């Protein structure tokens, strides 16, 4: 009704000013569509709202007022695939928030209030321009999925190790040279994607990742004595990828004792041998002992 029309005018005016008085029509249309979806969520019984793919460059305060008002108990919000460069620091006004999709924007940082969303279970911020994660991210004790691949991260906060419920972590495609020493505290972690960085070694504490099933480390700078010694403690590991680490010359002996390891990918390395017991020779043919798949093409082991 009248309030809705007033909000439309406010949003259009703010868009007009923010763009030097020449707001393109598609920007107004995006804001209008966002308002329509918010109104539909208000009148419906759902606990989710999808504002993805609208080309939004900013979130008007009016929009966040709506989210913090009648829609304060929303559980699922998608703002993915827009053009957002910043977010209001008001996420603590959403006490019911469980899933937040922010992938595919242009965010350089995340607001600190996001770390006070005590029920947040899934956070997807891949494909942005993040230079750092909030120092207090460890407060998200319910978080089970965190995807921050494809950003500009050079370090990860130590508080990451406080995410004891985390099952899936993706930090692929960043600028990381090391993972935090607290990584081993992630007792529930099952999947770690850290490929496409500049990692030189795993932290010693990673040997305590007993629940880890899949470890993706391809395309890093792994090399040097003991860089992967932590593998020996990952007794739940099933899939290991260390391909395209040109300086990697050996896997630790402990890797041969991992009871659930079934797949190893190590092409594009300097491996000259596998740990004793990982493969056996029978009539000149390499048979896997436990392993179902081994990819070594392009390494020093390639016949």
- Phi, psi at residue 181, to the nearest 5°? -65, -20
Tens-place pLDDT, residues 64-109? 777 667 677 889 999 999 999 999 998 988 889 999 999 999 999 9
- Cα torsion for 134, 136, 139, 144, to the nearest 10°? 30
CA distance 21 to 53: 24
| Encoded tokens for 189 | 């972690």
225 Cβ partners below 8 Å, 6+ apart?
none
Residue 165 has pLDDT above 60, yes or no: yes
Query: What number is the average pLDDT over the span 140-158?
Result: 98
Residue 17 has pLDDT above 50, yes or no: no
Distance set, CA 62 to CA 12, 56, 163, 201, 236 (Å):
12, 14, 33, 47, 48
Tens-place pLDDT, residues 176-205? 999 999 999 999 999 999 999 999 999 999
């Amino acid at each position: 009704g009248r309030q809705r029309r007033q909000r439309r005018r406010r949003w259009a005016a703010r868009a007009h000013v923010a763009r030097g008085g020449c707001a393109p029509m598609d920007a107004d249309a995006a804001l209008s569509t966002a308002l329509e979806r918010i109104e539909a969520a208000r009148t419906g019984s759902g606990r989710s709202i999808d504002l993805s793919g609208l080309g939004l460059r900013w979130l008007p305060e009016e929009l966040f007022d709506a989210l913090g008002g009648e829609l304060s108990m929303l559980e699922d919000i998608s703002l993915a695939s827009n053009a957002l460069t910043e977010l209001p620091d008001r996420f603590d006004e959403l006490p019911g928030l469980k899933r937040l999709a922010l992938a595919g924007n242009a965010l350089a940082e995340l607001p600190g209030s996001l770390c006070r969303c005590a029920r947040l279970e899934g956070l997807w911020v891949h494909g942005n321009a993040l230079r750092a994660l909030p120092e207090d991210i460890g407060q998200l004790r319910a978080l089970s999925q965190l995807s921050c691949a494809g950003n500009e991260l050079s370090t990860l906060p130590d508080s990451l190790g406080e995410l004891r419920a985390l099952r899936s972590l993706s930090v692929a495609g960043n600028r990381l040279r090391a993972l935090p020493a607290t990584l081993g505290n992630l007792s529930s972690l099952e999947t770690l994607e850290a490929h496409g960085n500049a990692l030189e070694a795993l932290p010693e504490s990673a040997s305590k990742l007993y629940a880890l099933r899949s470890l993706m480390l391809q395309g890093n700078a792994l090399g040097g004595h003991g860089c992967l010694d932590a593998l020996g403690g990952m007794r739940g590991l099933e899939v290991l990828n260390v391909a395209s680490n040109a300086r990697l010359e050996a896997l630790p002996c402990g890797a041969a004792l991992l009871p659930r390891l079934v797949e190893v990918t190590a092409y594009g390395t300097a491996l000259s041998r596998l740990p004793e017991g990982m493969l056996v020779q029978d009539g000149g043919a390499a048979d896997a002992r436990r392993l179902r798949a081994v990819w070594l093409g392009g390494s020093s082991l390639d016949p």
